[in-house]
């Protein structure tokens, strides 16, 4: 008894029943190209007054505004919403550290919970001319 059942709900990619093309001994490679470590990060076009696209991460904006008072709104598990008022001490790819000027408490808040942030003063969005930026750059995903 032959097993000729074909699942009608399964996805079968289209495949032509003709001969495979000849590639002269080297068949093409498919998939994602390997990442090279240590190489320069490609830079996009620079628009005056704005961070380059690759460097406009929220952590970099927070780093530019280190020492400023902000209101950070976050939603935690079970839909618990909370507002943090504090001074930006540090920011990383996945967290922000605020110090509460009223209590002196420091809060380490994972970025995954952050809804939005409001500033009580003007937001810095670019490094002053000649300053050495310490912005994070990540390879494209």
Higher pLDDT, 52 or 72: 72
Q: Of 72, 68, 84, 83, which Cα lies nearest the Cα of 124?
A: 68
pLDDT digits (tens, 9 = 90+) for 122-132: 999 876 655 55
**pLDDT above 90: percentage of residues in the chain:** 44
Whole-model pTM? 0.54
C-beta atoms surrounding 15 within 10 Å: 6
pLDDT digits (tens, 9 = 90+) for 13-66: 555 555 555 555 555 555 555 555 554 444 555 556 655 545 568 999 999 999
Extents of the domains making up the chain: 53-119
How far is residue 45's CA from residue 23's CA, in Å, rounded to a whole number? 38
How far is residue 58's CA from residue 54's CA, in Å, rounded to a whole number? 11
The model's confidence at residue 94, banded by pLDDT at 50, 70 and 90, is: very high
Q: Which CATH class is domain 53-119?
A: mainly beta
C-beta atoms surrounding 108 within 10 Å: 11
76 Cβ neighbours under 8 A, 6+ residues apart: 82, 113
How far is residue 27's CA from residue 33's CA, in Å, rounded to a whole number? 16
Residue 126: per-residue pLDDT = 79
For residue 85, pLDDT beyond 70: yes
The beta strand positions in 16-103, using DSSP E, are: 69-76, 80-91, 95-99
Q: Mean pLDDT throughout 133-139?
A: 59
């Amino acid at each position: 008894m032959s097993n000729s059942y074909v699942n009608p709900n399964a996805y079968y990619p289209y495949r032509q029943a003709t001969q495979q093309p000849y590639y002269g001994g080297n068949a093409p490679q498919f998939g994602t190209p390997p990442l090279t470590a240590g190489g320069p990060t490609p830079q996009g076009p620079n628009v005056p007054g704005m961070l380059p696209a690759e460097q406009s991460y929220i952590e970099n904006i927070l780093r530019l505004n280190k020492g400023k008072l902000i209101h950070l709104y976050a939603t935690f598990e079970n839909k618990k919403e909370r507002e943090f008022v504090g001074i930006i001490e540090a920011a990383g790819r996945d967290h922000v550290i605020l110090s509460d000027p009223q209590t002196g408490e420091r809060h380490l808040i994972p970025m995954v919970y952050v809804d939005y942030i409001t500033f009580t003063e003007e937001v810095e969005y670019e490094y002053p001319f000649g300053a050495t930026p310490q912005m994070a750059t990540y390879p494209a995903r």
